[in-house]
Amino acid sequence: MPPLAAVVLASGLAACVNHPPLVERASYVDKVDVTVRPAVNSTTLAEVVRQRLRGQAGRFGRTGAPKDIQVAVTNLHYKDPALSLLIGDANHIAAHVSVRDAQSGKSHGEFEVTAMDNAAINGVIGAAMAATQNKAEVDRALANGLARNVLERVYGTDVSKQVFAQPYAEPVETAPAAGPAAVPAAPKPAPKAAPAKPKEPKTAMVEAPAAR
């Protein structure tokens, strides 16, 4: 991970660039594939990036020519308390992206993209924040920033600014819905008792009179 100053400088220079669009405006993102390099220490990041990219892409519409985006996350760095205290640090993600036409397979281009989070505060407070931050929340913030930067490269800076200026509610992550409650099985009827056998009448035993 390069020092924060180098990362901020690179991000600042990238922010000054007005990116031309890679695709025609009458297009939409149809499929998003995300992979994570083995060096990236996260088992959930790929799915988080995929969801955030699809969500942000929906803001550009769903009409026109379908496009496929492939993202390979190449680096993930969580803000280090010691670095934050001494020289400054940030959460940082980097990825390699390729864009293709979904119907013809034609490549629209490939590029590298980065995103940062929690870079503004360093020193003692920044070190404390780095030591206690929730990595799942960091992953979501980085994935969201990465998604916006990817789409800026895909649709161009001018169009992206107009789209991102519109109100947008982040999708609420919910647990999978539980299935319908199982209906308890009806109790089995009790087995019918066998009919009682009629009692045989008892025959009184009468003693014969004694012979005289």
| Choice between 181 and 160, residue whose per-residue pLDDT is larger | 160
Average pLDDT, stretch 108-115?
Answer: 97
pLDDT tens digits, 140-172 = 999 999 999 999 999 999 999 999 999 887 766
**The domain spanning residue 150 has which CATH number?**
3.30.160
Residues in the chain: 212
3-state secondary structure (DSSP) of residue 184: coil
Q: Is residue 211 part of a domain?
A: no
Q: Domain span at residue 48?
A: 4-164
Q: What is the pLDDT of residue 14?
A: 52
Phi, psi of 99 (to 5 degrees): -125, 130
Inter-residue contact 81 to 128 (CB < 8 Å): yes
The percentage of residues in the chain with a pLDDT greater than 70, rounded to a whole number, is 73
Q: Is residue 111 part of a domain?
A: yes
Q: Is residue 150 part of a domain?
A: yes
In this model, does residue 46 exceed pLDDT 90? yes
Q: Is residue 151 part of a domain?
A: yes
How would you classify residue 123: left for phi > 0, otherwise alpha for psi between -120 and 50, otherwise beta? left
Closest residue by Cα to residue 113 from 50, 160, 71: 71
Q: Is residue 73 part of a domain?
A: yes
Q: Domain count of the chain?
A: 1
pLDDT band at 183 (very low <50, low <70, confident <90, very high): low
Q: Is residue 177 part of a domain?
A: no
Q: Is residue 207 part of a domain?
A: no
pLDDT tens digits, 121-133 = 788 888 888 898 8
End-to-end alpha carbon distance in the chain? 133
Q: What is the pLDDT of residue 177?
A: 45
Q: Is residue 176 part of a domain?
A: no
Reported pTM: 0.72
